[in-house]
């Protein structure tokens, strides 16, 4: 019997019915909250639209109907050209970051692991900075910057995998150290590009991108990011039982028929590709992938077939809410999203640490 077949036959201990029912209720409530949060995210801005007008505009656009009044036409423009792609993209990015954080925390067995553990963000920043500094971004627009960021993120993944080696035992410590080394090295190269650049506009663009923003969101970006979210969630859910096993230790995972080294490498690849798609369009947005999985565990427990979708839903909802706050609290100026998530995420992280210390 193969390792995969053996792992597939592993059945986790049955969950108490009351706890399982609570987890299902939480997921159902989050699913119900998603459209409401998206509508509110689209409605709130410098031009505030009533939620009913947002729903009407979405319905008209979906069926190809033309607005009859100037007010309705303005609503259609604001909803479809500006806010709807931004809200949907924000949900997908937040879901990917939270989902990846939950999976990585399991395979490296470290509560402080987050999606940027593998140096993916540093690689994306280097790719975007290179494109902007060379002027390619000015010629190709956001597609050029996003493409450079995506390629840079994949480059970081390739370097990390080369460092750990295909035939070596991929322990959690080796993966973490390789990711940190690559991240620091690529960040240093990015900073060097900023220092050597004489173009103030390029420096400003690079800095703003590195701080994270959804200000350049477009419909063209959505298919790639949404596909990365769906594929990543589907694959990780299939590995849910193996993630439960590896969370108990490598020896336990092997005794249950799973290969922890292979799973660790596979999860790193899947999450890195998904993260690359996300940060390519949003820049570096921290704390979502670190804090949200802990919040999700408090709601549904540590079983990954419940934890992963809960993390994705909660991460998407929170990032849409944070983006709405980022573009309205100091309007007409916009706070970089990465700064806001750090300001909001730090107190939450401290509360989680205090609660864990108290319970210990």
The string of pLDDT tens digits covering residues 214-247 is 988 889 889 999 999 999 999 999 999 999 988 8
Reference 149, options 120, 115, 106, 188; nearest CA is 120
Q: Is 17 exposed, middle or buried (0-12, 13-18, 19+ CB in 10 A)?
A: exposed
The string of pLDDT tens digits covering residues 294-351 is 999 989 998 999 999 999 999 999 999 999 999 998 878 888 898 999 888 888 888 8
Q: Indicate whether 168 pLDDT > 70.
A: no
pLDDT of residue 360: 59
**Mean pLDDT for the stretch of residues 128-157:** 78
Calculate ∠ Cα 184-264-180, nearest 5°.
10
Q: Indicate whether 10 pLDDT > 80.
A: no
Query: pTM (2 decimals)?
Result: 0.89
CA distance 183 to 258: 29
End-to-end Cα, the chain, rounded Å:
41
pLDDT band at 13 (very low <50, low <70, confident <90, very high): very low
CA 142 → CA 19, 76, 148, distances in Å?
46, 23, 10
pLDDT band at 28 (very low <50, low <70, confident <90, very high): very high
The single-letter DSSP state of residue 112 is T
Query: Which residue did the predictor score with more confidence, 73 or 166?
Result: 73
pLDDT band at 1 (very low <50, low <70, confident <90, very high): very low
CA distance 271 to 145: 21
CA distance 338 to 331: 17
pLDDT band at 99 (very low <50, low <70, confident <90, very high): very high
pLDDT of residue 2: 45
Reference 203, options 131, 151, 132; nearest CA is 132
CA distance 106 to 348: 20
Is the C-alpha dihedral spanning 237, 118, 178, 111 positive or negative?
A: negative
Residue 284: CB atoms within 10 Å: 22
């Amino acid at each position: 019997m193969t390792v995969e077949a053996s792992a597939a036959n592993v059945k986790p201990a049955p969950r108490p019915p009351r706890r399982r029912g609570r987890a299902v209720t939480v997921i159902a409530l989050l699913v119900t909250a998603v459209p409401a949060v998206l509508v509110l995210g689209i409605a709130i801005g410098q031009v505030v639209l009533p939620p009913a007008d947002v729903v009407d505009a979405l319905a008209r656009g979906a069926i190809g109907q033309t607005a009859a009044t100037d007010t309705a036409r303005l609503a259609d423009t604001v909803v479809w050209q500006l806010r709807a792609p931004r809200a949907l993209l924000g949900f997908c990015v937040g879901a990917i970051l939270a989902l990846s954080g939950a999976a990585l925390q399991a395979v490296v067995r470290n509560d402080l692991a987050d999606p940027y553990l593998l140096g993916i963000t540093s690689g994306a920043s280097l790719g975007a900075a290179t494109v902007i500094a060379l002027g390619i971004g000015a010629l190709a627009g956001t597609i050029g910057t996003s493409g450079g960021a995506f390629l840079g993120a994949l480059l970081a993944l390739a370097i990390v995998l080369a460092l750990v080696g295909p035939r070596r035992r991929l322990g959690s410590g080796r993966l973490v150290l390789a990711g940190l080394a690559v991240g620091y090295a690529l960040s240093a190269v990015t900073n060097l590009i900023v220092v050597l650049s004489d173009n103030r506009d390029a420096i400003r663009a690079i800095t703003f991108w590195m701080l994270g923003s959804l200000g350049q969101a477009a419909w063209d970006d959505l298919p790639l990011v949404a596909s990365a979210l769906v594929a990543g969630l589907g694959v990780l859910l299939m590995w849910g039982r193996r993630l439960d096993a590896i969370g108990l230790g490598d020896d336990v995972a092997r005794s249950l028929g799973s290969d922890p080294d292979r799973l660790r490498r596979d999860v790193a690849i899947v999450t890195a590709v998904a993260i690359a798609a996300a940060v390519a369009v949003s820049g570096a947005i921290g704390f979502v992938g670190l804090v949200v999985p802990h919040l999700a565990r408090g709601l549904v427990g540590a079983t990954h077939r419940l934890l992963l979708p809960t993390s994705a839903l909660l991460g998407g909802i929170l990032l849409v809410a944070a983006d709405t706050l980022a573009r309205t609290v100091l309007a007409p100026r916009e706070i970089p999203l990465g700064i806001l998530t750090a300001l909001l995420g730090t107190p939450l992280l401290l509360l989680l640490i205090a609660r864990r210390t108290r319970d210990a």
